[in-house]
Amino acid sequence: LPERGLALTVNLPSVDADFWRKALTPANGNGASASSGGSAAAGESAAPLSLAVLKTPLLDISGRRLHDVILKAAPAGNSWQVEVNAKEAAGQINWDGAGQGRVKARLKYLTLPESTPQQEAMQRLGEAESQDELPGLDIVADNFVLGSRRFGKLELLARNEGRVWRLDKVALNAPEGTINGKGLWRTDPRGAHRTDVEFRLEAGDAGKYLDRLGFPGTLKRGSATLAGKLAWNNTPTTLDIPSLSGEVKLTAEKGQFAKVEPGIGKLLGLWQD
């Protein structure tokens, strides 16, 4: 037991954190004090809870599903210090619930979790996400994986400005190549979404970089730079092809294309032209 206060241990077959977050948010919609002790009075009321431990095979949080989760949380001033160990992520997280909230994470590894069944159902119905509840993000993961693609080290900075979710920095660094970018996700008063991104990819060994990203044997050696600006009418996770606009420039040299599928070969032919 802790020296003072209470310790809470939860061990369940599954936990829906999104449900409990909404259920425990006060009727006035100001959940900062409940989640983080955003004021002195709130901190005093939350003081008895000195340690919380969660163990569950399935944890649904922010529309994503984590597996085999062991989570330990303790109050640290007006925030919570969290140690997480799961199939998809491991490391230290600091959660500050003031305002829109802010997540600072330093992770050994991060694999983008799959969507929860509820989130997938919303996507099938065409219900767009809202950035209103998204917290600010300061995330560093030594190894970031998206699907079968191993991007290397991830650094991400983002902040919520009401109707604008601003991605100040996203950097993906691997020995074979790097990706750097920034972007905006805006929502107008009618609820329409607009995403703008700017990016630059540089690969010293383009062949090995494509191998890392899940396209083995596509290219031998070579160096490449791919840079551009793109925009579309939807959320960042839903690329809307009919509204897609922008420009992309590819520079490649000192490499040799291997035998590839006809569709990819046609695309590369267009790039060469």
Mean pLDDT for 4-17 is 91
The predicted pLDDT at position 35 comes to 42
The predicted pLDDT at position 241 comes to 87
Alpha carbon 85 to chain centroid, angstroms: 17
20-29, 142-151, 173-182, 262-271: lowest mean pLDDT where? Answer: 262-271
Higher pLDDT pick, 268 / 58: 58
The predicted pLDDT at position 273 comes to 36
Q: Where are the beta strands (DSSP E) in the chain?
A: 6-11, 15-16, 49-61, 64-76, 79-85, 89-96, 102-111, 114-115, 136-146, 149-160, 164-174, 177-187, 193-203, 219-232, 245-257
Give buried/exposed letters for 183-200 (b at 16+ CB in 10 A, else e): bbbbbeeeeebbbbbbbe
Tell me how far CA of residue 191 lies from CA of 10, 74, 119, 134, 186, in angstroms.
38, 37, 19, 16, 9
The predicted pLDDT at position 262 comes to 55
CB 194 within 8 A of CB 170: no
The predicted pLDDT at position 78 comes to 84
Mean pLDDT for 78-85 is 93
Mean pLDDT for 158-175 is 89
Contacts of residue 48, defined as CB under 8 A and 6 or more positions apart, other chains included, come to 5, 6
Question: Per residue in 93-145, pLDDT tens?
Answer: 998 877 778 899 999 999 987 777 776 665 555 555 556 667 889 999 999 99
pLDDT exceeds 70 at position 263 = no
Contacts of residue 196, defined as CB under 8 A and 6 or more positions apart, other chains included, come to 183, 184, 186, 229, 230, 231
The predicted pLDDT at position 221 comes to 74
CB 139 within 8 A of CB 154: yes
Confidence grade of residue 31 (pLDDT, cut at 50, 70, 90): very low
Q: Which pairs with CB-CB distance under 8 Å and at least 24 residues apart come from 183-186?
A: 183/236, 185/131, 185/235, 185/236
Query: What's 188's DSSP letter?
Result: -
Question: Per residue in 172-214, pLDDT tens?
Answer: 999 888 999 999 988 887 778 899 999 998 988 887 887 787 7
Which of 98-102, 154-158, 163-167, 248-252 tops mean pLDDT? Answer: 154-158
**Is the pTM for the entire model greater than 0.85?**
no
The predicted pLDDT at position 212 comes to 81
Higher pLDDT pick, 158 / 40: 158
